[in-house]
Amino acid sequence: MPATKILPGEYYVTTSRELVTTVLGSCVSACVRDKVFGVGGMNHFMLPISADGKGWNGSSDLLSTATRYGNFAMEHMINEILKHGGHKRHLEAKIFGGGKIVENLSDVGRRNIEFARCYLETEGIDVVGESVGDIHPRKVVYI
């Protein structure tokens, strides 16, 4: 089966039966699919939200911002799923990651988890599974 690996700050949408994979620490991946039509994708975001529309380095390059912050990564990926034939009423999600990998650092993983749950609830997308939090990194393989 074909496989696509995504890195931090990327997302991928497919209409084919293929594997999408990533490795997570404090980052979160949302795997969203249309359970009826089979189109779906995975993102890998590093930080929960960018309220000012600026990228991590102060850039206003929205594509750069979209690939790093949850609020842009979720919106762009879901819009791609809809463009490829998905229907919002059929979407479901699984979320992964958000570990507190380094003990003495802030808990950005927890903020990423809270953001993902809140975003999906606001959009009316059911979370049908999750493996989040704790202190361990994760390798995610989504079909």
Q: Which of 52, 21, 39 is nearest to 140 (CA)?
A: 21
Q: What are phi and psi of 90, to 5 degrees?
A: -100, 0
Q: What are phi and psi of 61, to 5 degrees?
A: -70, 105
**Strand 126-132, strand 91-97: pairing:** parallel
What is the three-class DSSP state of 94?
strand
Active-site choice (27, 73, 108, 113): 27
Active site residue 31: no
User: What is the rounded distance in angstroms from the CA atom of residue 120 to the CA atom of residue 57?
Assistant: 27
User: What is the rounded distance in angstroms from the CA atom of residue 94 to the CA atom of residue 92?
Assistant: 7
Point out the residues that are catalytic: 27
